[in-house]
Chains A and B, each alone.
Chain A
Amino acid sequence: MIDPQVIIDHWPYFAAGIWMTIQVSLAAIVLGFMIAFAVALLRTSRFRLLRGVASAYVEMLRNVPFIILLFIFFYGLPFSGIRLPEQVAGTIALSFFASAYYAEIIRGAMASVPRGQVEAARAMGFTYGQILRDIIVPQMWKFALPPMAGITTMTVKESSILSTITVAELTYQGIIVQGMTFAPFEVFFAIAALYWIFTAVLVRLFRIAECRVGSAELAAAARSPVASKYLTLEARP
C-alpha cells in the first residue's frame, strides 16, 4: 500500500535534497556552458594543435561514463594533493561532463549562421571578436537552444550520481529516508516526481526562450513582401 504519510513526515529531507539538486545542477549547467563556449571556439581555431586538444577533450568526456569521471575527481584528485569538498568536486565533474555535449551543440550552431554574413563582416574590417559578438552569437541561439534543452535535462538527471560520493542531493536524501522508513515505493516515486517537475520547468523555460528567438524571425517573415504576396485572405486572379 502506498502511504503518503511517509513523504509528509520526512518532507525536510526531500526539500533539502531538491534544493541541493537545483544548486548543483544549475551551477554545472552555467559553468558547463561557459567551458563549452571556450571549447567550441578552440575547435574552430586556426591552429591545429588547439583544435586537436579541444576535440580530444570532447571525445574523452563523451566516451567515459559519468560515474567514472566523478570518481576520478573525487577519489583521484586527493592523491595529487587537491582535496575538494564532495559538493565542489561533484559540481565540477558534472560541469565538465555537460560541457562536452554543450560544446558540440555550440560548434554546430555557430557553423549554422550563414557564412555570407560572416564574410560580409570580414570584408568590412571586423575583427573575429566583433564578428562573434555582433553576428554569430546573437544568431546561434535559434540553432543551439533546442538541442541544449535535452543536454540540460540530462545534466539534471546525471546529478543523481553525485549521491555516490555523498553529496546530499535529492537521490542521496531519498536513500536516507528509505533506510529509515523501508518504504521504497513512496520515497522513490516522490523523488522521481520531484526530478520530473524540475526538468519540466527547465524544458518549459527553454521553450519560452526558443519562442523568443524564433518568434522574432517568424514575425518578421510574416511581414515580408513575399509573405504578404502569398499569406493573404484576399482572392487573387
Chain B
Amino acid sequence: MATPLLAIENLSKSYGDVQVLKGVSLDVHAGDVIGIIGRSGCGKSSLLRCINGLETIDGGTVNLHGEFIGRVPHGSGWRHQTERELIDLRARIGFVFQQFNLWSNKTALDNVALPLVRVRKKSWAEARETAAEMLVKLGLGDKTASHPSELSGGQQQRVSIARALVMKPELMLLDEPTSALDPELVLDVLKVLQDLVAEGMTMLCVTHEMGFIRTFGSRLVFMDGGEIVETGDPRDVLSAPKTERLRSLLGTIQH
C-alpha cells in the first residue's frame, strides 16, 4: 500500500486529569473520505484539533506527508512545535467548524479572500477574484457582499467551506459541519461535501449524517472513551456493528 497522506500513531491527549485520547492510530490515504462517529466527549473533536495543531499533543505522533505536526523529534526525545512553526502546516489543512466561525467584521467575499492575502500573500484583487469564483461554485454568487449575520446557517457554513477550499488544502477536517444547521439547510451543505468527494478531496469528517457516510465514505471510524473501537467500510460497519457500544449508539441515531 502507498504511504499514507496522514499517519496518526498512538496519539494521546489529556485535559488535566481527563485523558480524551488514549493512543489513537489512523492512516489516511489521499482521496479517503473518513467519517468519524461517537458520543459527545469521546474525543472525536479533540482528534481533529490535534491533527492541525490547535491542541497540543501529549503523546504519539501526527505525520502529514512525512512532516510531524505539533510534536516533533528533538534530541533523543520529543518537543512541542511553536505556534509559528505550525503556521505552514496549518495552511495545508482545511478546517471547518460546527459553528462556522466566520469573521463577523468581514463580508462573505473577504472572509474567503483574507486567508489568501494574509497566508498566501496574494494581492487583494487576485484574492477577491479567486474568492468570488469559489463562492459562485458553492452557489453563493449573490451573497458576496453580505456579512455573516445576514446569512443563514447553511450559507455561512458554505462560506466557511469556501474559505477552507481556496487555500487548496491537502486534507480537509470537518468538525460536525451540519450539526448546528436547521434540518432543511443540512442538504445544501451535504451537497457541497458530495461535490468535494467527487473531486477526490481527502476528508476527515466528524458527523452523524449516516446516510452521507454510507454513500460517500470510504471508511467509518467509531470512537468511544478516547479510543477507536471499530473501523472499516461504512456499509459493513453500519449493517453489522461488532460491539455493543456501537449498536447502542446507532440505536440513538436515525439513519
Q: Which of A121, A125, A220 contacts B103, CB < 8 Å?
A: A121
Query: A138 contacts the other chain (Cβ, under 8 Å)?
Result: yes
Report B149-163 CB contacts with A as 1/0, cut-off 8 Å: 111100000001001
Instruction: Tell me the count of chain B residues lying within 8 A, CB to CB, of chain A.
Output: 32
Query: B245 contacts the other chain (Cβ, under 8 Å)?
Result: no
Most buried by B among A122, A123, A217: A123
CA distance A120 to B149 in the complex (A): 17
Q: Are B150 and A223 in contact (CB under 8 A)?
A: yes
Q: Total A-B pairs in contact (CB under 8 Å)?
A: 76
Set of chain B residues within 8 Å of A178, measured between Cβ atoms? none
Set of chain A residues within 8 Å of B103, measured between Cβ atoms? 117, 120-121, 134-135
Query: A44 contacts the other chain (Cβ, under 8 Å)?
Result: no
Given A123-B90, A124-B163, A224-B149, the answer on whether A139 and B105 have CB atoms closer than 8 Å is: yes
CA distance A120 to B96 in the complex (A): 8
Residues in B36-89 with C-beta less than 8 Å from chain A: 52, 54, 83-84, 87-89
Query: B241 contacts the other chain (Cβ, under 8 Å)?
Result: no
Chain A residue nearest in CB terms to B115 = A124
Set of chain A residues within 8 Å of B235, measured between Cβ atoms? none
Query: A11 contacts the other chain (Cβ, under 8 Å)?
Result: no
CA distance A221 to B104 in the complex (A): 11
CA distance A119 to B152 in the complex (A): 21
Q: Are A119 and B101 in contact (CB under 8 A)?
A: yes
CA distance A138 to B105 in the complex (A): 7
Set of chain B residues within 8 Å of A189, measured between Cβ atoms? none
Instruction: Please classify the interface of chain A as helix (H, G, I), strand (E, B), loop, or mixed, using the class held by over half of its residues.
Output: helix
Q: Are B119 and A120 in contact (CB under 8 A)?
A: no
Residues in A118-174 with C-beta less than 8 Å from chain B: 119-128, 130, 134-135, 138-139
Query: A65 contacts the other chain (Cβ, under 8 Å)?
Result: no
Q: Say how far A41's CB is from chain B's closest CB, in angstroms.
A: 15
Instruction: Tell me the count of chain A residues lying within 8 A, CB to CB, of chain B.
Output: 24
Query: A179 contacts the other chain (Cβ, under 8 Å)?
Result: no
Given A117-B101, A220-B149, A224-B150, the answer on whether A124 and B119 have CB atoms closer than 8 Å is: yes
Set of chain B residues within 8 Å of A126, measured between Cβ atoms? 87, 115, 118-119
Q: Say how far B114's CB is from chain A's closest CB, in angstroms.
A: 6
Most buried by A among B90, B99, B105, B147: B105
Given A116-B101, A119-B101, the answer on whether A220 and B150 have CB atoms closer than 8 Å is: yes
Q: Are A130 and B152 in contact (CB under 8 A)?
A: no
CA distance A187 to B90 in the complex (A): 66
CA distance A130 to B103 in the complex (A): 13
Given A119-B101, A139-B104, A139-B105, the answer on whether A125 and B150 have CB atoms closer than 8 Å is: no
Set of chain B residues within 8 Å of A116, measured between Cβ atoms? 97, 99, 101
Set of chain A residues within 8 Å of B52, measured between Cβ atoms? 123
CA distance A121 to B117 in the complex (A): 12
CA distance A138 to B114 in the complex (A): 14
CA distance A125 to B89 in the complex (A): 8
Q: Say how far A115's CB is from chain B's closest CB, in angstroms.
A: 9
Q: Which 3 A-B pairs rank lowest in CB-CB distance, beginning with the nearest?
A: A125-B91, A116-B101, A120-B101
Given contacts A125-B87, A125-B119, A225-B151, 19 further A-B contacts (CB under 8 A): A114-B101, A114-B104, A117-B102, A117-B103, A119-B101, A120-B103, A123-B90, A123-B95, A124-B91, A125-B88, A125-B90, A134-B114, A134-B118, A220-B147, A223-B150, A224-B149, A224-B150, A225-B150, A225-B152
Sample (24) of A-B pairs whose CB atoms are under 8 Å apart: A114-B104, A117-B102, A119-B54, A120-B95, A120-B97, A120-B103, A121-B103, A122-B83, A122-B90, A123-B52, A124-B90, A124-B91, A125-B115, A125-B119, A125-B167, A127-B84, A134-B114, A135-B103, A138-B105, A217-B104, A220-B147, A220-B150, A223-B150, A225-B151
Q: Please give the residue numbers on chain A whose beta carbons come within 8 Å of chain B beta carbons, in ascending order.
A: 114, 116-117, 119-128, 130, 134-135, 138-139, 217, 220-221, 223-225
